[in-house]
Amino acid sequence: MATGDGAPLGLRERKKQETRAALSWATIRLSVERGWDAVTVEDIAAEANVSVRTFRNYFSSKAEAVVARHIDRMLHVADDLRARPADEPLPEAVTHAVLARFAPEPGADRSPRSREFLSQWVKGIRLMLTEPDVQGEFFKADLVVQRELATAIAERIGTDVARDIYPSLVAAATGAAATVAMDHWLRSDPTVPIGVILSDALDRIWAGLPVP
Amino acid sequence: MATGDGAPLGLRERKKQETRAALSWATIRLSVERGWDAVTVEDIAAEANVSVRTFRNYFSSKAEAVVARHIDRMLHVADDLRARPADEPLPEAVTHAVLARFAPEPGADRSPRSREFLSQWVKGIRLMLTEPDVQGEFFKADLVVQRELATAIAERIGTDVARDIYPSLVAAATGAAATVAMDHWLRSDPTVPIGVILSDALDRIWAGLPVP
DNA sequence: GGAAAACTTGCCCAGTCGGCATCTTTTCCG
DNA sequence: CGGAAAAGATGCCGACTGGGCAAGTTTTCC
């Protein structure tokens, strides 16, 4: 619901989604359990009941499988920005759009399914920011997200990504804030929600990084 | 001179530096010539007159070999920051430290050696921002640079990276500005010096990204 | 109902990656 | 000066990756 799947997906498409999710999740789970280097693609494929070759059809590396879930999520930020009211100032609009994808509906946080999902998400983020292999993949993918966001920003303020550096700069700064926030979140008191930290980071960016 | 090599390096160390540079340069050159995927480690090793195994002792991948030169350079930014006068405000200090490593001494820009070096540098940057493999490696390495910078910032303003998110945020925003500036530089009019673009980007960051 | 499109899988090979043992070069100290 | 000892370079090897190709299967769509 929250992700707004408009079209009624056919069986084929649904299976693909499932396989993709299963592979991604299996990669995270096994890596956390046994350590990144101790897990082979073969292990993961077996865990998800597909062949090694099929894993490769979905992801070109273990790292990509880990990052995919997060990136799929973040790709919606640009759409969220486009959906913000047109008269909202840019800083607020961007901040809201980003926060929306980091702090899901507060109501659903207690359901068992939601709990499990959250746990996966956290583990995935930890892997992304910890394991060098995955780090690289993460940033590479984040670049794509930032390009999307930059385009949406350019649309909103009526300029062009190629000519004006501003949209890309805002997108990159936003991405930087998000990464730092995630990192800080993982390293510090885990009871503070990620949304609070991220919100603070974004506010500081838009305030011109005043020395505290 | 500019890099301040204090200790008189022994023969061994000097050879290592040379081999490292030769491998890095060979990787860039061959990749530009033939295309990233068409170059094997074997080709590169042959080009630099070392064995494949020796390449691996220096770099764990082609991508790392490309990124190394840029990163070695950027690692000095933290030191540069520490060398700035203590009463200089943080924004100016950081900006100067970063710019110093992007815009070398204006006097040397015409010597033939300097020209050649610059050409390598540009090609390396283009690879870094273009080839996905290298992109990942670049950002991974840039993270290390940013950690260094964050530590230096924390020292300067008398706080702690673990407790206070501010230094990391500044470092990440600075890094983001640098990346965007490089990207924009490569894509647009190449007669505008990178220093100008980067300086503009950093100013905007410290001004709170005002909508133009 | 059945052809066409899309997916899965096995096979294969060039290339990567890193451990280990060996040989060579450089350093260092008496 | 000379001879360890330390540091590099290299070859060999085995496990794994990454992607092309050619069957098989399953789903979709007329």
Q: Given pLDDT bands bounded at 50, 70 and 90, which one contains residue A188?
A: confident
Q: Of the candidates B166, B168, B208, which has its C-beta nearest A206's C-beta?
A: B208
Read off the pLDDT of residues B33-52 as tens digits, 9 standing for 90 and up: 999 999 999 999 999 999 99
For residue B8, the distance in angstroms to the closest alpha carbon of chain A comes to: 34
Taking only the tens place, the pLDDT of each residue in A54-87 is 999 999 999 999 999 889 889 999 999 999 999 9
pLDDT exceeds cutoff 50 at A4: no
Nearest Cα residue to B153 out of B53, B77, B41: B77
Residue B17 predicted with pLDDT over 50 = yes
pLDDT at B150 over 80: yes
pLDDT at A17 over 80: yes
| pLDDT at residue A185 tops 90 | yes
> Cβ of B161 under 8 Å from any chain A Cβ?
no
Subunit contact B135:A143, Cβ cutoff 8 A: yes
Q: For residue B104, what pLDDT is reported?
A: 63
Q: What is the mean pLDDT of residues B120-130?
A: 87
| % of chain B residues with pLDDT over 90 | 75
Q: Looking at the predicted structure, is the pLDDT value of residue B4 above 60?
A: no
Provide the chain B residues 180-199 that lie in CB contact (below 8 A) with chain A: 180-181, 183-184, 187-188, 197
Protein-covered nucleotides of chain D (CB closer than 7 Å) are 7-12, 15-21, 27-29
Distance B61 CA to D7 C1' (A): 22
CB of A61 within 8 Å of a chain B CB? The answer is no
The more confidently predicted of residues B179 and A212 is B179
Examine the pLDDT at A18 and tell me if it is beyond 50.
Answer: yes
Query: Would you report the helix, strand and coil content of chain B in percent, each value rounded to 5?
Result: 75, 0, 25
With 0-12 CB in 10 A as exposed, 13-18 as middle and 19+ as buried, what is A25? buried
Residue B116 — pLDDT band, cuts 50, 70, 90?
Answer: confident
Q: Minimal Cα–Cα distance from A21 to chain B, Å?
A: 23
Cα of A112 to nearest chain B Cα, Å: 32
Instruction: Test A139 with B139 for CB contact under 8 angstroms.
Output: yes
Size of interface A-B (CB pairs under 8 A): 118
- pLDDT category at B6 given cuts 50, 70, 90 is very low
**Chain B residues whose beta carbon lies within 8 Å of the beta carbon of residue A135:** 136, 139-140, 143
Closest listed residue to residue B179, CA positions, set A175, A127, A183, A197: A175
- The runs of H, that is alpha helices, within chain A are 11-34, 41-47, 52-58, 62-74, 76-83, 90-102, 112-130, 132-157, 166-187, 194-206
Contacts of B205 in chain A (CB under 8 A): 169, 173, 205, 208-209
Looking at chain B, which residue has its C-alpha nearest residue A144? Answer: B132
The predicted model gives A157-178 an average pLDDT of 97
Mean pLDDT estimate for chain B: 89
| Cβ neighbours around A198 below 10 Å, total | 24
**Residue B164: its pLDDT value, please?**
96
Q: ipTM exceeding 0.85?
A: yes
Q: Would you say residue B2 has pLDDT above 70?
A: no
What letter does residue B75 receive in the DSSP assignment? T
Distance between the alpha carbon (CA) of A18 and the C1' atom of C18, Å: 35
Residue found by looking up tokens 């069986």 in the block: A11
Cβ distance A169 to B204 less than 8 Å, yes or no, reads yes
| B75 min Cα distance to partner chain A (Å) | 18
**pLDDT band, residue B109 (cuts 50/70/90):** low
A98 close to B (CB below 8 A): no
Least confident of A91-95, A166-170, B89-93, B188-192: B188-192
Fold match, A9-59 / A62-206: no
**For the residues B20-25, what does the mean pLDDT come to?**
94
Mean pLDDT of B10-28: 89
Which residues of B fall within a CB distance of 8 Å from A132? 140
Tokens 């950093």 locate to: B202
User: In CATH, what number does A9-59 get?
Assistant: 1.10.10.60
Q: What is the mean pLDDT of residues A112-127?
A: 78
In the prediction, which pLDDT does A54 show?
A: 94
Question: Which band of pLDDT confidence, cut at 50, 70 and 90, is reported for residue B110?
Answer: low
Percent pLDDT > 70 in chain B is 91
Proximity of residue B15 CB to strand D below 7 A? yes
Residues of A in contact with B179 (CB under 8 A): 172
What's the rounded mean pLDDT across residues B183-208?
Answer: 93
Q: Where are the domains of chain A?
A: 9-59, 62-206
Q: Alpha-carbon distance A171 to A180, whole Å?
A: 14
Average pLDDT, chain A: 89
Domain B62-206 has CATH 1.10.357.10: yes
Q: In terms of C-beta density within 10 A (0-12 exposed, 13-18 middle, 19 or more buried), how is residue A167 classed? A: buried
Q: Which nt has its C1' nearest the CA of B18?
A: D8
Q: Which residue of B has its CA nearest to A159?
A: B212
- Sign, Cα dihedral of A104, A108, A109, A115: negative
Q: CA at A64, C1' at C4: how many angstroms apart? A: 32
- pLDDT number for residue A119: 78
How does residue A107 score in pLDDT terms, banded at 50, 70 and 90? low
What is the reported pLDDT for B123?
85
Rounded to whole angstroms, the Cα distance separating B183 from B50 reads 33
Sign of CA dihedral A210, B147, B96, A154: negative
Closest partner CB to A176 (pick from B140, B166, B175): B175
